[in-house]
Amino acid sequence: MDFASMCCSAMAFLLFIVLCTKISRARTRRRTSHHQLPPSVNGIALLRLLPAIFKKGIPAVMNDLYIKYGSVFTASLFGASITLLIGPEVTAHFFQGLDSEISHGNMFEFTVPMFGKGIAYGRDMATRNEQKRFNVEAVLKPSRLTSHVSIMLQEVESYFSKWGKEGIVDLKVELERLLMLITSRCLLGKEVREDMFDEVNTLFGELGNGLNMISFLYPYLPTPACRRRDRARIRLTEILSNVVVSRKRSGRVEEDTLQRLMDSRYKDGRSTTVEEVVALIIALVFGGKHTSSHTSTWTGARLLSHPTVLKAAIEEQERITQKYKDNELDYNSFLEMVTLHCCIKEALRMHPPAPALVRKVHKSFTVQTREGKHYEIPQEHIVATPILVNNNIPYIYKDPQVYDPHRFHPDRNEDKVGGKFSYTSFGGGRHGCNGEAYAYLQIKVIWSHFLRNFELELISPFPKTDWSRYAAEPKGNLFVRYKRTA
Ligand code: HEM
């Protein structure tokens, strides 16, 4: 492992500790059940893992811990404790429990200066739940997705029409920009896409750069990164508020997510305010931006390193374009791209942007492991489920280290056979991702275009993972040689 990767691993390890310290401040309450507590890994044992983290990387070490201590164990360091829950047998309550029993606690406080006080962690639970409904109705409903397809196709076709007959590009950079163009058009709307794209793109970049270990722990410290983050949010709020107000004044109605949020109503009939609409749309764009672009890049890196899988994905495109002949591809045609869907899902299994999910326990509960052991998870404990390990459990995923998209094909369905919460890249249950279907759709539109129109060859070595960012991403450049086929 090179020095930079060692630093990244150390930073990620530190972030994990910082996270535990911030949210734990745990006063373990009197226990209410007679079940035993999970086995414990103490600080000295954890510090001894540092050389192994440098040598083998975080995923391998997490996996070693799982093999050694099982699916439920508590890690303690510097007075902070965190209980790990691994695999579908022990994570049902983690994902499905009521917010009054298990929730994000104060962990997402850092989002208030990023998105504003109008939403999420700036508001009470009842308002948050209603705003969650607005997100689902604005982004996830099939009718919304159907209307996005032709816009996504237009954006993708226009973007690649500017490429030459052949050349070399950094796929990571290209996909990041293309996804932001799609997002601008589908989520933020025509005004931003046509007149303010570059400024808005830069501002979202600044907002993300303001998210680091220090701002995570102390979101209001006046560091240069926090100041730039605050300036970016103020300017973004100004731009987007003007768009909302101008639509309201003129009575103009558009077909985008911003409009859906403007038209949303609370149960008492109240409309969303300009401040809430702007905060909701900033949070949605931010939540989908890096996750989708990293997944598109990983999908490319995996496909281009596996010729047999690539061939199957190209053949599927040929079949589907034959079927739809001259008609434009529509929402249903993308649903039919099962092979491509599995290629993306498998890339996400191996490279989840969020390596772990964390919650605070407000009411103690018990879990039963696959081996039949019962453990009590006491009130005030911090619990985490490492997606990285969940997605690689060998009794669910055959040869988990192998890129094998066919494992998700209807004739194998490894995750469904494994049971609910076997596949956790999008979380699940009460706080499962609101943008999953949208994310698949936009990544499919891009990769379907690539497969139908270009021959691609990976020039860079297969990328390592950069764990130091808030969303784990492919490290460095990903150079690809392209040649038009059509
Ligand atoms: C490949 C792309 C994506 C991945 C891997 C991903 C992953 C996740 C995960 C793991 C969670 C659960 C967090 C938790 O339980 O603590 C989540 C939540 C969420 N995601 Fe995504 N996401 C993606 C794309 C998107 C997109 C495109 C949008 C919006 C357009 C979006 C909006 C949201 C929202 C609003 C939540 C919060 C749900 C809640 O708390 O109730 N995501 N996402």
What number does the ligand 1 atom closest to the CA of 430 have? 41
Distance 439 CA to ligand 1 centre (A): 9
Q: Report the pocket of ligand 1 as residue ranges, CB < 6 Å.
A: 132, 135, 139, 284, 287-288, 291-292, 295, 348, 353-354, 357, 425-427, 431, 433-435, 438-439
Residue nearest to atom 18 of ligand 1 (CA): 433
Residue nearest to atom 3 of ligand 1 (CA): 291
Q: Among 433, 436, 446, which is best to mutate for testing ligand 1, by the most ligand atoms less than 8 A from CB?
A: 433
Q: Among 185, 291, 469, which is best to mutate for testing ligand 1, by the most ligand atoms less than 8 A from CB?
A: 291
pLDDT for 486 equals: 67
Is the pTM of the predicted complex or chain greater than 0.95?
no
Distance 409 CA to ligand 1 centre (A): 23
What number does the ligand 1 atom closest to the CA of 95 have? 15
Q: Determine how β-strand 40-41 pairs with β-strand 72-77.
A: parallel
pLDDT for 44 equals: 83
What number does the ligand 1 atom closest to the CA of 257 have? 30
What number does the ligand 1 atom closest to the CA of 354 have? 10
Residue nearest to atom 43 of ligand 1 (CA): 433
Distance 196 CA to ligand 1 centre (A): 26
Distance 432 CA to ligand 1 centre (A): 7
Cβ burial, residue 230 (10 Å; 0-12/13-18/19+):
middle
pLDDT for 168 equals: 98
What number does the ligand 1 atom closest to the CA of 359 have? 16
Distance 454 CA to ligand 1 centre (A): 30
Distance 365 CA to ligand 1 centre (A): 26
What number does the ligand 1 atom closest to the CA of 139 have? 30
pLDDT for 3 equals: 45
Distance 426 CA to ligand 1 centre (A): 6
Backbone φ and ψ for 396, nearest 5 degrees, come out as -105, -45
Residue nearest to atom 9 of ligand 1 (CA): 426
Look up residue 199 and give its two tokens: 């400024």
Q: How many CB atoms lie within 10 A of CB 14?
A: 12
Distance 428 CA to ligand 1 centre (A): 9
Q: How many CB atoms lie within 10 A of CB 450?
A: 24
Distance 50 CA to ligand 1 centre (A): 30
Distance CA 230, CA 140 (A): 30
What number does the ligand 1 atom closest to the CA of 432 have? 12
Residue nearest to atom 36 of ligand 1 (CA): 433
Distance 354 CA to ligand 1 centre (A): 9
Distance 436 CA to ligand 1 centre (A): 7
Residue nearest to atom 6 of ligand 1 (CA): 426
Residue nearest to atom 20 of ligand 1 (CA): 433
Distance 357 CA to ligand 1 centre (A): 11
Distance CA 231, CA 291 (A): 24
Distance 123 CA to ligand 1 centre (A): 19
Residue nearest to atom 35 of ligand 1 (CA): 434
Is residue 186 within 8 Å of 151, Cβ to Cβ?
yes
Q: Per-residue pLDDT for the chain (486 aa), expressed as one digit of tens each?
A: 444 444 445 445 555 555 555 555 444 445 556 779 999 988 888 888 888 888 888 888 889 999 999 999 998 877 778 999 999 999 999 999 999 999 988 888 888 889 888 787 778 888 888 998 998 888 877 788 898 999 999 999 999 999 999 999 999 999 999 999 999 999 999 999 999 999 999 999 999 888 877 778 888 888 998 999 999 999 999 999 999 999 999 999 998 999 999 999 999 999 999 999 999 999 999 999 999 999 999 999 999 999 999 999 999 999 999 988 756 799 999 999 999 999 999 999 999 999 999 999 999 999 999 999 999 999 989 999 999 999 999 999 999 999 999 999 999 999 999 999 999 999 999 999 989 999 999 999 999 999 999 999 999 999 999 887 778 899 999 999 999 996
